[in-house]
Amino acid sequence: MAEAERIIGTPDITGAEGSGETGPDGAAASPDSAVPPTPDTGATAADAAVDRSPATRRRRIILLFCVAVVAYLLDLGSKMLVVAKLEHQEPIELLGDWLKLDAIRNAGAAFGFGEAFTIIFTIIAATVIVVIARIARKLYSLPWAIALGLLLGGALGNLTDRIFRAPGVFEGAVVDFIAPAHFAVFNLADSAIVCGGILIVLLSFKGLDPDGAVHKD
């Protein structure tokens, strides 16, 4: 009998014995089938791709302040030019009656609203600047850096007028000069604030946070 088994050969059952499992048809199960599924942690592919290194955060903060500085300098330069050349002069027509340059002093908020609450708007602008500085500590998103930079530059632009222009500190009137037809007169700081706010709303609808995380509803 032993001689017959030596001639015929014995089946190789090492793999089946090693796994200890068989499939529905009696065959040995593959090693992959014994691997438990990876638990779902809730992280998305976009979250995994976010670079949250200190170097990335520094670059985003630098971008935020660069955008803010550009917005601030454009607003400040335009106001200085308007005060020097346009104030107390006839409006300049750019597109007929549809768009004019008309220098006015605005004690209210953006677009001339709330003139009786100048100090309140000054405090709000200062608070916005502080909030942006706090958010910047966990900033890794490029679009958020641009949006916050626009908000910061616009807030600083109008806050400068509140502090340094007449009638007094924290009560100064903002210089407005862009006058579309059938709309309030505004300035470049107002435009930066509105553009930054719209961008933040869009980013929020898309579920993108300042730290780069993406939330899917």
Q: What positions carry a catalytic annotation? A: 176, 190
CA angle (127, 132, 138) in 5-degree steps = 140
Please write down the HEC assignment for all residues of 13-44: CHHHHHHCCECCCCCECCHHHHCCCCCCCCCC
- How far apart CA 145 and CA 211 sit, in angstroms, is 10
Q: Are 120 and 38 in contact (CB under 8 A)?
A: no
- How far apart CA 197 and CA 204 sit, in angstroms, is 11
